[in-house]
Structure 1
Amino acid sequence: MALIYVYSPSGAVRDRAGLRRAVRRLQSAGHEVVLDEATLARHQRFAGDDETRLQAIARAAASGADVALTTRGGYGLTRLLPRLPYDAIDAAARRGMAWMGLSDFTALQLAALAQRGTPTWAGPALLEDWAGETVDEITMACFDDLVHGVGEGAGWRLPPADLRAHPDLQRGWRLEGATLWGGNLSIVANLVGTPYLPAVDGGVLFLEDVGEHPYRIERLLTQLLLAGVLPRQRAVLLGAFNRYTLTPHDRGFRMQTVVQWLRAQLPGMPVLTGLPFGHVPTKVVLPVGRPVELVVEGREAVLFWG
């Protein structure tokens, strides 16, 4: 099984019982789990001050683990980007370490890709996915495929609205050799205009977010649109956008409204929804910074990278 190094690069761990439960679950699956010495550190809302978290990332890079797994997201990595140990992160990835996480971890992933071309993995985080009452079987199967070196792709079923919006896809569609990249929409948009946003042309951009009302989602997408990021892609994949509350003031403005608006801004480009990724129990593991093949056959969409 895998050696998993757990560290906290962003927000402070608040659920210590959940962390212990999550570690036991990984161990019961046969994995060896090593907790970084500052996993439970706290400074304000962060998992230790900036220097503490930078040192934790450096220790993860030097650990020789198969997987470097974040405890949680939150906020904190963006302020570290000018000082991240990019060479050490890249060297560990090239040796076979899977840097894995989601949410705030998007900042490290995209910065490492922009600065060194480092491939990483978007996937589960310790507290998000192992600390609850149950563990999602699909999420764990995707994680196990990765650590066993047999993960080759991920598929999902498109909603009927996607095929109505893109009738040409019903005959089948294939895209090869496009770089898969993206992650949390707020982080991606906030990196525009910085040296930490990868300059990916002709890529497949996947996005998710949590706790953001649909109008805020549209505003973030507008930032990517006006900055020229979206028009340079060949496909956009939308994961989960959840944990927000609509109000009577919205008068029918909802997430589907945003999707329809986005498609109108990107005529001819597939904008596909339902990607099982984000702050939801069921999530696939996605290779960030690697070339993929995207295939649509009817309502079945599949990403291949093996």
Structure 2
Amino acid sequence: MLSFSPVPALREGAHLRLIAPASPFPKEDFERGVARLRERYRVSFDPSIFARDAYLAGDDARRAAELRRALTEDGIDAVVAARGGYGATRLLDAVRVEDVRPRLLVGFSDLTALHALFARAGLRSLHASMVAALGRGTDAALEAWRAAVEGAVPPAMVDLVSIAPGRAEGPLIGGNLAVLHALVGTPYAPPLDGAILFLEEIGEAPYRVDRMLTTLRQAGWLARVAGIAVGQLTRCAPGPDGREISHVIADRLGDLGIPVVAGVPSGHEEENAPLPLGAPVHLDADRATLGFREGVAVAQR
């Protein structure tokens, strides 16, 4: 079975390096998020983080240099993304697995590409809200975020939706479906053998989700995993044909012979429960639960 090493847990005063590897972000939300993080941690970022190049937060050279520094410079405890959007996959050619040091990576959505990088480096990472979202989020969401980065084991997720029966254990791997779909056939795909695959999505019509899941099937990805946990499918409303996203999930994932659940409260909703990618989990589709054995990080002595 695949195994991924926990990274050092954060503590009060830890150094968070903020990056923008994907799209630009609302400055007001970002500044509120920074203020909230500075209540407990030391926060730094390059002034160029506010750069804009159409739908990107600056050109590839800027974003790649920022990412490499965040991954390799001494004295950094965590790398936290400002926002997702699009652009992280464009940086994968510029970053080597050898550049990744054991430090916490936090983000989701387009940051799935960097979670895959950490998985290829054998390290855990945290699928969780980014700085701009923390700036407009609730106090409860911030507390859950802090607990996760400081090494807490997440509570079990119950009352999920069972799609296909069975039980499985394995490391939790995955993230945004569209980004994972974009990694098919590239050398940047995450390791999957025996994993519990997590999938979430936003703004994709059911037929497009069908297409992406079909690609994962045909590429052999879904034959390699031990189970699947589907998260939030935000704004994936049916088109004129009326086909619901729930039908697509059942049709494309229900006949694989592995346990599958849906309803994991992580993704692009107000509640975005932190998920320790790479940590061992227990998926019980018979009871519709997802249990966590460890967190993303361990405290350092």
TM-score by length of structure 2 reads 0.86
Aligned twin of 2:252? 262
Summarize the Cα distance change of 1:221–1:37 in structure 2 as closer, same or farther, 3 Å threshold: same
What's the counterpart of residue 135 of structure 2? 131
Are the equivalent residues in 1 in contact too, given 2:32–2:132 (CA < 8 A)?
no
Partner of 1:122: 127
Select the structure that is richer in helix. 1
Equivalent residue, structure 2, for 1:56: 66
Distance 2:278 2:290 in 1: 20
Give the aligned residue type for 2:54.
Q
CA contact (8 A) 2:157 2:289 kept: yes
AA matched with 2:23: G
Cα distance change on mapping 1:147 and 1:118 into 2, 3 Å = closer
Map 1:1-306 → 2, pairs under 5 A: 1=12, 2-13=14-25, 15-28=26-39, 30-61=40-71, 62=73, 64-89=75-100, 91=101, 93=102, 97-114=103-120, 116-128=121-133, 130-132=134-136, 134-135=137-138, 137=140, 139-149=141-151, 151-159=152-160, 161-162=161-162, 165-166=163-164, 173=167, 175-176=168-169, 178-247=170-239, 249-251=240-242, 253-266=243-256, 268-295=257-284, 298-306=287-295
Instruction: Give the letter aligned to residue 191 of structure 1.
Output: L
The percent of aligned pairs where both chains have the same amino acid is: 32
| Pair 1:264–1:296, CA change in 2 (3 A) | closer
Cα pair distance change 1:299/1:193, threshold 3 Å: closer
What's the CA shift for 1:85? 4.1
1:123 deviates by 1.2
Partners of 2:60 and 2:281 lie apart in 1 by 35
Measured in 2, the distance between the counterparts of 1:218 and 1:207 equals 13
CA distance in 1, matches of 2:48, 2:69: 10
Matched-pair contact (CA < 8 Å) for 1:179–1:291 = yes
The verdict on how the C-alpha distance between 1:21 and 1:87 changes in structure 2, with shifts beyond 3 A counting, is same
Report the residue type matching 1:260 in the other structure.
A
Instruction: Name structure 1 gaps, 5 residues minimum.
Output: none
Supply the AA of the counterpart residue of 1:278.
G
Q: Closer, same or farther in 2 for the Cα pair 1:222/1:206, shift >3 Å?
A: same
Q: State the SS of the aligned residue for 1:205.
A: strand
Find the residue that maps to 2:157 and give its secondary structure.
strand
For 1:213-246, what per-residue CA distance to the aligned partner results, in whole angstroms no more than 9, with x for missing partners? 1111111000001111012111100001112443
Q: Which has the bigger relative contact order, CA under 8 A and spacing at least 6?
A: 2
Q: Secondary structure at the match of 1:140?
A: helix
Output the aligned Cα RMSD.
2.1
Output the CA distance in 1 between the equivalents of 2:231 and 2:273.
10
1: CA distance, partners of 2:195 / 2:34? 36
How many angstroms apart in 1 are the aligned matches of 2:288 and 2:280?
Answer: 23
| Aligned residues of 2:280 and 2:292 also touching (Cα < 8 A) | no
Count of paired positions: 282
TM-aligned CA deviation for residue 297 of structure 1: 7.3
Q: How far 1:264 moved relative to its partner?
A: 3.6
Q: Which amino acid aligns with 1:148?
A: E
Contact 1:206 1:239 in 2 (8 A): yes
Q: Map Cα deviations across residues 20-50 of structure 1 (whole Å, 9 max, x no partner).
A: 111112223x222212332111223211111
Measured at CA, do residues 37 and 274 of structure 1 come closer, stay the same or move farther in structure 2, by a change above 3 Å?
Answer: same
Deviations 1:29-72 (A, max 9, x none): x2222123321112232111111111111221215232211000
